[in-house]
Structures are given as structure tokens and as C-alpha cells.
Amino acid sequence: DQQVKQNSPSLSVQEGRISILNCDYTNSMFDYFLWYKKYPAEGPTFLISISSIKDKNEDGRFTVFLNKSAKHLSLHIVPSQPGDSAVYFCAANGNNAGNMLTFGGGTRLMVKP
């Protein structure tokens, strides 16, 4: 049973427009949520995170929104650029002793010039 789900395997957006990537979770004990970005033939790299005590975190063109009642978070990229084309993984940290992350299945974002 997947505790973190990304229901859209792919998303295509025009350059300059907004990209919205979605993520749903089932475990109410998760207290940190993260987004990782992955280019082909490279490892994932950390992008942005949000604590469960907040509902929004912004870093330049990237904003993450958290809706705890809906167990839903989203990543907004504005404006989208061709270099943003990558696979984006949503992850959650349950403050467990092992510092483990639970990842979603990923969404492939394609930004068209």
C-alpha cells in the first residue's frame, strides 16, 4: 500500500506557464514533506521542503503548498523553463528513528519551448 502517491505519471507545460505537480499521502504521522528533482542518468537532488506546521513554502520560482486536512501537497513552478524538464518525486519523512523517506512514484515534467 503506497503511503505517498503521485497520480500523474507525466505533465506537459508550455515554457513560461505554471507547472503544478500533485502528491497525496495517507499517513497522518508524516511531519516533513520534500520534493526531489531527477535528471536522466543522475541521482535525485533536493528541491524544496515543507514542515507539517506550515501550509506554504516558497523558494524562488518554486512553491510548495500543504493541505493537511486533504493530505495533499503540490509543487508550483512559475514560470516554467525548459531546464525544469525532469522527473519530480514527492517524499515524506515520518520523523522515524531511521530518518527514512517514503517516496511517491514520480511525475515526469516536460516543459516545451
Partner 1 sequence: DAGITQSPRYKITETGRQVTLMCHQTWSHSYMFWYRQDLGHGLRLIYYSAAADITDKGEVPDGYVVSRSKTENFPLTLESATRSQTSVYFCASKGQLPYEQYFGPGTRLTVT
Q: Which residues bind partner 1 (CB under 8 A)?
A: 4, 6, 9, 32, 34, 36, 41-46, 49, 89, 91, 93, 95, 98-106
Smallest separation (angstroms) from partner 1 to the CB of 30: 11
Q: Which three cell numbers stand for residue 98?
A: 531511521
What distances in angstroms separate CA 48 from CA 1, 68, 112, one per listed residue? 25, 17, 23
Taking the least distance from each CB to partner 1, the nearer of 87 and 111 is 87
Smallest separation (angstroms) from partner 1 to the CB of 99: 5
Smallest separation (angstroms) from partner 1 to the CB of 26: 15
Smallest separation (angstroms) from partner 1 to the CB of 76: 20
Q: Are 48 and 35 in contact (CB under 8 A)?
A: yes
Q: Are 37 and 48 in contact (CB under 8 A)?
A: no
